[in-house]
Amino acid sequence: MVKRLRVGVLISGGGTNLQAILDACESGRLTAEVVFVGSDTPQAAGLERARRRGIPTFVVDYRAVTAAFRENPGAAALPADFRLEEIRAKQGLMGNTVDPARVDGFLVSRAMAEAALLAAMREIPYDLIALAGFMRTLTPYFIDRVNSDRASLRLMNIHPALLPAFPGTDGYGDTWRYGCKVAGCTVHFVDYGEDTGPIIGQRAFPIREEDTLETIRRRGLEQEWELYPECIQLFAEGRLRTERMVHELPGGRRFERSVVRIAPAA
């Protein structure tokens, strides 16, 4: 008997992926329950989907937090356990060509918002956090506190492209503009980079001559609604394991990466 996984979902927008997860929980396709829904945007329409079902919701208004920081950076109320040097060293969101002051400002303002998210999340026990159209990059400060046990990742994201192609906020748009003949979506664990974490599942579909960005988005979302609950179910069944792979390549090069291994169904 698989125990019901407690899933916390974070959203920014319409929440159709949240809806797919809720529906899969209801139909029994997913041995899970959504225990809370959080958002960075007070107007996120998806919040209503949770409220209708009596699921607790919370909002951390990122826009307000970052605006307050920009106005008066000196007054930043940082969480007591925030160590800027450590977070700066770990983050893989911005390269070393970016002005260090900008990097620090970004990390500090995000940590303020992330501390508020974590405080709300602490109220309700969870086994997994699923980002479902949560349009904010998360820093190592947040990621490490969700993955309190380093050996077991429990922060998942769905991305609208076949990673590692087209990370960022507009995966379908980037795929389309590039002239790709295949589009797709990816569910992955979150690491310190931008959409770079170990891949759990992917779905691909052909791009046809008559397709537009709109039809690609539509078909992509339909794939997402199936893929995300499937990946969460694999997690619920304890079938996901992350393994560090090291490959020796010609010319003495090495390729090292954490990959997800999926155990066969019991």
Residues forming contacts to ligand GRF in the complex (CB under 6 A) are 11, 13-17, 46, 132-133, 158-160, 185, 221, 224
Whether 247 is a known active-site residue: answer: no
Q: For residue 60, count CB atoms less than 10 angstroms from its CB and return exposed for 0-12, middle for 13-18, buried for 19 or more.
A: buried
Q: How far is the CB of 29 from ligand GRF (least distance, A)?
A: 17
Separation of alpha carbons 228 and 141, rounded Å: 25
Q: What angle do CA 136, 186, 114 make, to 5 degrees?
A: 20
Q: How far is the CB of 51 from ligand GRF (least distance, A)?
A: 16
Residue for token pair 């699921």: 55
Nearer to ligand GRF, 112 or 219 (CB): 219
Residue type, 217: R
Nearer to ligand GRF, 17 or 147 (CB): 17
Nearer to ligand GRF, 108 or 138 (CB): 138
CB-CB neighbours of 31 under 10 Å: 16
Q: How far is the CB of 111 from ligand GRF (least distance, A)?
A: 22
Q: For residue 185, count CB atoms less than 10 angstroms from its CB and return exposed for 0-12, middle for 13-18, buried for 19 or more.
A: buried
Separation of alpha carbons 148 and 138, rounded Å: 15
Cβ-defined contacts of 168-173 (< 8 Å, 24+)? 168/194, 168/195, 169/135, 172/213, 172/216, 172/217, 172/220, 173/213
Nearer to ligand GRF, 13 or 56 (CB): 13
Q: How far is the CB of 171 from ligand GRF (least distance, A)?
A: 7
Contact 22, 36 (CB under 8 A): no
Q: Closest residue (Cβ) to ligand GRF?
A: 133
Candidate list 154, 159, 203, 219, residue with the active-site label:
159
Separation of alpha carbons 113 and 109, rounded Å: 7
DSSP state of 62: H
Nearer to ligand GRF, 91 or 157 (CB): 157
Q: How far is the CB of 76 from ligand GRF (least distance, A)?
A: 28
Residues that are catalytic: 159
